[in-house]
Amino acid sequence: MRTIWNGSLSFGLVTIPVGLAVAQQRQDVSFRTLHRECGTPIKQKRYCPLHERDVEADELVKGWEVVKGTFVPVEESDLEAVELARSRAVRLLRFVPLDDVDPLYFDRAYYLAPTADPVARRPYALLVRALCEAGMAAVGTFVLWGKEHLCLVRALDDALVLETLFYAEDIRSRAEIGEAVAGVEVTDAELDMARQLVQSLAGAFDPADYRNEHRAQLRALLEAKAAGQEIAWPEPEPEAPVLDLMEALRQSLAVAKPAGEPARSRRSSRTSR
């Protein structure tokens, strides 16, 4: 597995050599901006509207916006003064119940790959098993690309996963949302039907059950254009009529499977054949 950072996990007197490998990679389609007349990719230029000219790389400096339109220039020497010491350790500070960590704090996931040394793999496997059996995860900090990150190390099957976390100050307040719904009342009948609808659609989570339909359609469109094929555009779906809440719940229950029937994943339906 290709790693982007190599170091160790440390807690107490225990040190576990690991490598950091990207766990997620979006497969979205990307585009370039072309000149319509000739199909040539357009170059982005650095342009100063005050001097009305292009500027070179050595004329650029970082800037921090104090108030709208007012900036403080920041030199590289300023940033070096507060640069974090280079560290190759993920310092695990506390072990917490995994269920206590709200997914709202999750930022990006990485695999922690064990070292090639068979002896050093033993503490890795030991930590995986200990976390699994206890239902715990480790909160820690580490430095990556010059920035300190809060992180969570958890076990996933036989692997350790490191999730970078948002700090509490990074999470926007949801008080406004709570205030908006605090005075909203629902009837017992509405709540009962909502529970039935939730139960009728309940099932185990299997990521393989879900497919990015828009991405697939976009790729098919691009492949057809590249092959010079004529594209048949689908008719837009008519807007659904606006229903009152109870009627919407009734119609939703009517098309759902009978209440109490467990949802079957693709994997289980394939196995049963």
> Residue 123: how many CA atoms within 13 Å on its side-chain side?
13
pTM equals: 0.69
Dump pLDDT digits (tens) for 210-243. Answer: 888 888 888 888 888 888 887 777 677 777 676 6
Could you give all domains of the chain from N- to C-terminal order, each with its CATH number? 5-24+83-170 (2.40.290.10)
Contacts of 97 (CB under 8 A, 6+ apart): 135, 136, 137
pLDDT tens digit sequence for 57-89: 888 889 888 888 888 888 877 777 666 666 788
- Quick check: 59 and 73 in contact, CB under 8 A? no
pLDDT in tens, 11-48: 777 788 888 888 877 777 788 888 888 989 888 888 89
Query: In sequence order, what are the residues at sequence separation of 6 or more whose Cβ sits closer than 8 angstroms to the Cβ of residue 225?
Result: 231
Q: At 251, which helix (H) or strand (E)?
A: helix 245-255
pLDDT in tens, 164-184: 999 999 998 888 888 888 888
DSSP 74-122: E-HHHHHHTPPPP--EEEEEEEEEGGGS-GGGEEEEEEEEEPS-TTTHH
The token pair at 178 is 């709570």
Which DSSP helix (H) or strand (E) runs through 144?
Answer: strand 136-144
Distance in Å from the first CA to the final CA of the chain: 35
Cβ neighbours around 235 below 10 Å, total: 6
